[in-house]
Amino acid sequence: DGGITQSPKYLFRKEGQNVTLSCEQNLNHDAMYWYRQDPGQGLRLIYYSQIVNDFQKGDIAEGYSVSREKKESFPLTVTSAQKNPTAFYLCASSNFHDSNYGYTFGSGTRLTVV
Amino acid sequence: AQSVTQLGSHVSVSEGALVLLRCNYSSSVPPYLFWYVQYPNQGLQLLLKYTTGATLVKGINGFEAEFKKSETSFHLTKPSAHMSDAAEYFCAVSRQGGKLIFGQGTELSVKP
Residues B65, B35: Cα–Cα separation, whole Å: 9
Pairing outcome for strands B10-14 and B106-111: parallel
Q: In this complex, is the C-beta atom of A96 within 8 Å of any C-beta atom belonging to chain B?
A: yes
State how far the Cα of B33 lies from the Cα of B13, in Å rounded to an integer: 25
pLDDT interval class at B51 (50, 70, 90): confident
Looking at beta carbons, which residues of chain A come within 8 Å of B100? 102-103
Per-residue pLDDT tens digits for A74-102: 999 999 989 899 999 999 999 866 656 78
- Measured in angstroms, the CA of B64 and the nearest CA of chain A are apart by 17
* Whether A31 contacts A95, CB under 8 Å: yes
Residue B108 near residue B38, CB atoms below 8 Å:
no
List, for residues B35-49, the tens digit of each pLDDT value.
999 998 899 999 999
Cβ-proximal residues to B67 (8 Å cutoff; 6+ apart), any chain: B33, B50, B55, B56, B57, B73, B74
Residue of B nearest to A106 (CA): B43
Beta carbons of A100 and B94 less than 8 Å apart: yes
Residues of A in contact with B104 (CB under 8 A): 40-42
The minimal CB distance from A107 to the residues B9, B43, B49 is found for B43
What is the biggest distance separating any 2 CA atoms in chain B, rounded to whole angstroms? 43
Chain B residues with CB-CB distance to A40 below 8 A: 9, 104
pLDDT at B101: 87
Give which of A60, A101, A107 to mutate to test B binding, by max B Cβ within 10 Å. Answer: A101
